[in-house]
Amino acid sequence: MELKQAIGIRRTIRFYNPYRKVEREKIQKMLEAARLASFWGNVQALRAIVMVRGESPPEKWDALVAPLGTSQLKHAPVVILWYWVEEAIFDRKTGHATQGDRLHELTDARVMGLDPVVEHRFLDTVVIPYFKQNYDGIMQTGLTDMDCGQGIAQATLVAYDEGLGTCCIGTGSLDGPREKKMRKLFKLPESAHLLVLMTVGYPLESREAGGQRPKLPFEQLYFVNEHGNPFERDLRVVEELKRDGMIQAPAPLEYRQKELEFLHKALEIVPNFAPPAPNANKD
């Protein structure tokens, strides 16, 4: 895979080929990629539950449907529920600092430092007690969510490399009625933080999916020395990235409207943003 090109063309896919199954090994490769992602303290809190259309229980599929943006949930061949669990860091029930085990493991893997005996002692007497006082804060920093995002992003790129498309769908809230139902049906531990549902399948829409999505101007996002002081964009670099396929033609491409009409018809999708029927508000 040419990485820059993959970043450019790998686009959120919302329309899947409903009769083409996704090979189990391709899903495994996505999960393998997530497993290898960097994670603070190597805690690897990210978890995933895979569901395959026609094989997983239908009531679980029904529980996933959300009010917006979910037409693909009705035809995607695979859905992955990504979430993370607190006990990968700290087990509130037993008081065990799992994170400490992972730090000791890193020491044994000779990741840094010169003397393993000294390192293990330092972990037990200084580092782990320090973390233990502050697990509530650590769970809320966003660091874990960010690292889960890295794992999910790696899975996304592998999916692309295997000819698949993906779309993340936010789970809404941690504790809404839909989330409560999901927790029960999927037997999630109390400590689970729901992240996203990811639809996976072979794209029915073209790979360009209508063109590169609008993104905010570069200088508005990235700075030097202080917030608001733009990191100046070198247009020669932009040209190079265009040649490498990372920066591509912006959406909408000229055929997109026709393509959307075709996709909606082919998959019998009721448009999300349709106005109410003319008589909807009459008695």
Ligand X SMILES: Cc1cc2nc3c(=O)[nH]c(=O)nc-3n(C[C@H](O)[C@H](O)[C@H](O)COP(=O)(O)O)c2cc1C
Write out the residues near ligand X by the rule CB under 6 A: 11-12, 14, 69, 167-170, 196, 213
Provide, rounded to whole angstroms, the least separation between the CB of residue 239 and ligand X.
21
Provide, rounded to whole angstroms, the least separation between the CB of residue 168 and ligand X.
4
Residue 68 or residue 118: which is nearer to ligand X going by CB? 68
Q: Is 2 left (phi over 0), alpha (psi -120 to 50) or beta?
A: beta
Letter for the amino acid at 172? Answer: G
Residue 205 near residue 81, CB atoms below 8 Å: no
Sign of CA dihedral 248, 252, 254, 257: positive
Residue 65 or residue 111: which is nearer to ligand X going by CB? 65
What's the distance, CA 188 to chain centroid?
18
Provide, rounded to whole angstroms, the least separation between the CB of residue 65 and ligand X.
11
Provide, rounded to whole angstroms, the least separation between the CB of residue 175 and ligand X.
18
Provide, rounded to whole angstroms, the least separation between the CB of residue 272 and ligand X.
9
Of 169, 160, 159, 103, nearest in space to 131 by CA: 103
The tokens describing 2, both together, are 């040419």
Residue 10 or residue 53: which is nearer to ligand X going by CB? 10
CA distances from 101 to 90, 210, 234 (A): 10, 47, 45
Residue number with the smallest Cβ distance to ligand X = 69
Residue 184 or residue 213: which is nearer to ligand X going by CB? 213
How buried is 76 (Cβ within 10 angstroms: 0-12 exposed, 13-18 middle, 19+ buried)? buried
Residue 42 or residue 70: which is nearer to ligand X going by CB? 70
